[in-house]
Amino acid sequence: MGGKDEKSTYNRSKWIYWQEPLLEAKSVWKTKKNLKWNNQDETLEILSYDIDNAWEELCDFINRADFIFHLAGINRSKRNEDFETGNKCFTEKLVNILENTGKNTPLLISSSIQAAQDNPYGASKKGAEEAVFEYGRRTGARVCVYRLPNVFGKWSRPHYNSVVANWCYNISRNLTTQINNPDTEIELVYIDHVIDEFINALNGYENRGEDGFCHIFQTFKTSLNELADILYSFKQSRATLVVPNLQGDFQRFLYAQYLSYLPENDFGYNLQMRHDNRGWLAEFIKSKQFGQIFISCTKPGVTRGNHWHHTKAEKFLVIEGEALIKFRKINKSNTTNNTTKNTNNIIEYRVSGKELKVLDIPVGYTHSITNIGQTELFTIFWANEIFNPDKPDTYYLEPRVP
């Protein structure tokens, strides 16, 4: 939901998204904010109808709008008749106003997968869908009906109707979470994908199925137990420094949402700095997929390293100060090239924070890094595996001629 992208051919100027007066709709607050921040096209005007607007304004907006997003509805009430009134009946009133304009304005409605269920809420949502489809059949207007599963992503209100929002909020604040049926499977859709699809619909490129409904191109299925495990791993990563596997879209999107729920006074966390006579060393990030990153501060004249590895590959990057990095192939055979200094099988690289250069540390080469400047040396290190104290794969040997 937002403005057109560079490839869009949609040239109308006004569109409206609507929220039911008196009662807030499922995911409307989240969708409205994402809609606002995705509307980057200044030629489009958003006509926002909310709980504080008068009925007359809705009629005026409908007459002015070139596209309508109907995102509202009632999903919580102690009275079953409220579902009928707020979902089915209001949508019928809305399409009647639309028909009276004679404009055949395109209409998008966000429905729910509950519309397929035999309950008062589901029946009211199905009734709203049928009103929209009938409006399209009578007028020839383009209508887009989306049966959305559970929406997750930033700005979703916790303790309302989203288990993901509830648990992100609670876990990030050390509050308890309750799982009654851990094996229950839920289907989720990411808010950014919803917004992208709604923008496509605005521009006339909705993802329409043979059943007449429009669909978000990607959804995710997970159990409540798996969802809880993933969210707790996000929480624990601050202590262990092991970031979760974010190769899959679901984990990556979920991590983004989790971070959005951090208390504003808890964005930062401390790293353990191991001090000795050389300076200090701190681990930063660990991952089972890409290894680990750490940073060091080395005093002038001090050397680190003097060891080699069988399998552990590394990269060094000096970001401040001057350093001399030495290598020697432990089997004594060596090759030379035009970018290194080779003296009796010793390879030397001079590096500086003034000109960033990454040094690959091949296995089978003993290596060291020496601060040759007058100030402290700051270096970022990467290793292709997490350090295992029980199997360090580190063998002392100075890179000097035997």
Active-site amino acid positions: 121
Neighbours of 309 (CB within 10 A): 21
Rg of the chain in Å (alpha carbons): 30
Q: Residue 367 pLDDT more than 80?
A: yes
Decide which of 100 and 3 is more confident. Answer: 100
For residue 277, which amino acid is it?
N
Look over the chain and give the mean of its residue pLDDT values, rounded to a whole number: 87
Q: Across the strands, what pairs with 325?
A: 349, 369
Sign of CA dihedral 20, 25, 29, 31: negative
Q: Residue 400 pLDDT more than 70?
A: yes
Residues 300-322 have a mean pLDDT of 98
Start-to-end Cα distance in the chain: 69
DSSP 76-107: --SSHHHHIIIIIIHHHHHHHHHHHHTS---E
Q: Residue 21 pLDDT more than 50?
A: no
Give per-residue pLDDT as tens, 133-180. Answer: 999 999 999 999 999 999 999 998 898 889 999 999 999 999 998 898
pTM: 0.83
d(CA 202, CA 105) in angstroms, rounded, equals: 11
Distances, alpha carbon 154 to alpha carbons 164, 218, 256, in Å? 10, 17, 8
Decide which of 13 and 106 is more confident. Answer: 106
Q: Which residue has the tokens 């350090």?
A: 387
In the prediction, which pLDDT does 39 show?
Answer: 53
Write phi, then psi, for 236 (nearest 5 degrees): -70, -20
DSSP 355: B
Q: What burial class does residue 195 get, using C-beta atoms within 10 Å of its C-beta: 0-12 exposed, 13-18 middle, 19+ buried? A: buried
Q: Which of 173-187, 305-319, 339-353 has the lowest mean pLDDT?
A: 339-353
What structural domains does the chain harbor? 14-239 (3.40.50.720), 273-396 (2.60.120.10)
Give per-residue pLDDT as tens, 22-69. Answer: 222 333 334 444 555 555 566 778 888 876 788 888 889 999 999 999
220 CB-near residues (< 8 Å, 6+ apart) = 187, 188, 189, 190, 249, 250
In the prediction, which pLDDT does 402 show?
Answer: 65
Give per-residue pLDDT as tens, 217-232. Answer: 999 999 999 999 999 9
Q: Which helix (H) or strand (E) holds 224?
A: helix 224-240
> pLDDT band for position 182 (50/70/90)?
very high
Q: Which residue has the tokens 């997490």?
A: 386
Q: Which helix (H) or strand (E) holds 347?
A: strand 346-352
Residues 280-285 have a mean pLDDT of 98
Give per-residue pLDDT as tens, 250-265. Answer: 999 999 999 999 999 9
Instruction: State percent of the chain over pLDDT 90.
Output: 72
Residues 306-323 have a mean pLDDT of 98
